[in-house]
Amino acid sequence: MFSNYLIGLREGLEASLVVCILIAYLVRTGRRDALKPIWAGIGIAVVIALGFGCVLEFGSQELTFQAQEALGGALSILSVGLVTWMVFWMRRTARNLKSELHGKLDMALKTGTAALVATAFLAVGREGLETALFVWASVHAASDGTPRPLIGVALGLATAVLLGWLFYRGALKINLAKFFTWTGGMLVVVAAGVLAYGVHDLQEADLIPGLTRLAFDISGAIPPDSWYGTLLKGIFNFQPDPTVFQVTVWALYLVPTLALFLSPVGFASGKGKVKITDEQGSRGSQPSNAS
């Protein structure tokens, strides 16, 4: 449940900050008439993300077992790739996010209503589709037949919306650079577990034959149905009896990716801040340097 809460919080907060920047800019520049198209674009993005998640969940139930495992493995690997790209992208570009969004919004204001809807949709829709895919892959990997994973996602998204509103009103200040660094690192750990389970699915589908020798089996010490086994599976997608290939893929992804992500090399070291200002002039100061 914690890993899914983290996914909802991290992705939801990114989307919330984007929404806050767009709305605050329109309010501050006296373009309240453009708020309705912006909210329309945001609404369309949310609906499409939810629809995409439903298609993944209910569409896969109609497939054969082998097809389900193949689909689950392929989408797990795809989601890991997207999430890895996302955490590195946010670390590199967070510092310039506000100016980029303002530039796109200025162009959309000159073009018309459809451009405003498209700007909001594209800004939020990418986060929504990534979230739907990664949540599905994570829930698929950690599912124990209970609704806890989805509850975790819902709580994470609700927290993100609340934090976004508090930022907008200037009632909350946190170091977003450190927040995104820590949560990004934790997401890489979660993604490593999803990747390993994706490999497991492909092995179950007989798409990776001949690589099924177990690396170890500690099911006796950590039963999968025990509370601590469930906890480890929910947080890290831990499996007590992985194959050698799963462990190898897990290590080859986690160690270099986490080391590169936490390394300051190649990332901006500036101390710039993004300020979200509402119509009353209240401000939320957000350190946005990516290092």
Judge whether residue 100 has pLDDT over 70.
yes
pLDDT in tens, 237-248: 677 788 888 889
Highest mean pLDDT among 14-18, 42-46, 160-164: 42-46
Distance CA 219, CA 239 (A): 9
pLDDT in tens, 180-210: 778 788 888 888 888 888 888 888 888 876 6
- CB within 8 Å of 76: residues ≥ 6 apart: 137, 140, 141, 194, 195, 197, 198, 201
pLDDT in tens, 208-263: 766 677 787 787 888 777 766 766 766 666 777 888 888 899 999 999 999 998 88
Q: Whole-prediction pTM value?
A: 0.68
> Which SS3 state, helix, strand or coil, does residue 286 take?
strand
Pick the closest to residue 21 from 291, 268, 273 (CA basis). Answer: 273
The string of DSSP codes covering 32-66 is: GGGHHHHHHHHHHHHHHHHHHHHHHHHHHTTS-HH
pLDDT in tens, 17-56: 888 888 888 888 888 888 888 899 889 988 998 888 888 8
Confidence at 266, pLDDT banded by 50, 70, 90: very low
Least confident range of 2-6, 40-44, 125-129: 2-6
Pick the closest to residue 40 from 145, 142, 114 (CA basis). Answer: 114
Contact 163, 171 (CB under 8 A): no
> Which SS3 state, helix, strand or coil, does residue 67 take?
helix
Count of the separate structural domains present in the chain: 1
- The residues that bridge with 275 in the sheet, in sequence order, are 285
Domain that holds residue 222: 2-287
